[in-house]
Amino acid sequence: MNHPDECLQCGTCVTVCPVEMVGGHAIVTFLADPDATDYSVWLCTSCWRCQEACPGGVSIYELMMEQRRREEAPAGYRAAFESVLACGLALQVPQEELDQMRAAWGLEPTRLPPPGLARALLCAEDGDRW
């Protein structure tokens, strides 16, 4: 990942990052110190606090997402993505189970998307990186 020219390395992003607050190191660690290696863009929580606070106007969120697309994903992300490709949603709950759950809670039935729809929308083809 190239360190963005607009980044002042002021460290404001580190002070507002909720991941840093719990002892993790996300993209802000790299922004504050381009030589840092002990961080992971997969730890970012998509809370947008760093970008909102950044005095240099760096598009940190986009930078983080672009880097994720170049890297191998952790198991949790991969499983959720595979599920979206398979059934359109992050978890795989069959229509019948959903119908029963909603009926038990007094909620009207709702139809799941057709299988394969999300994959088609995302143009996922065999041989794609993901």
Minimum distance from residue 106 beta carbon to other proteins (Å): 7
HSE value, Cβ hemisphere, 13 Å, CA-based, for 84? 13
Which H or E element spans position 50?
A: helix 49-53
Of 3 and 81, nearer to other proteins (C-beta) is: 81
Among 72, 110, 125, 126, binds other proteins (CB under 8 A): 110
Query: 31 vs 27, 47, 53, 69, 82, CA distance in Å?
Result: 6, 17, 13, 18, 31
Chain residues binding other proteins by CB under 8 A are 16, 18-19, 21-24, 40, 42-43, 45-49, 51-53, 61, 65, 68-69, 73-74, 76-77, 80-81, 84, 88-91, 93, 98, 101-102, 105-108, 110-114, 117-118, 121-123, 130
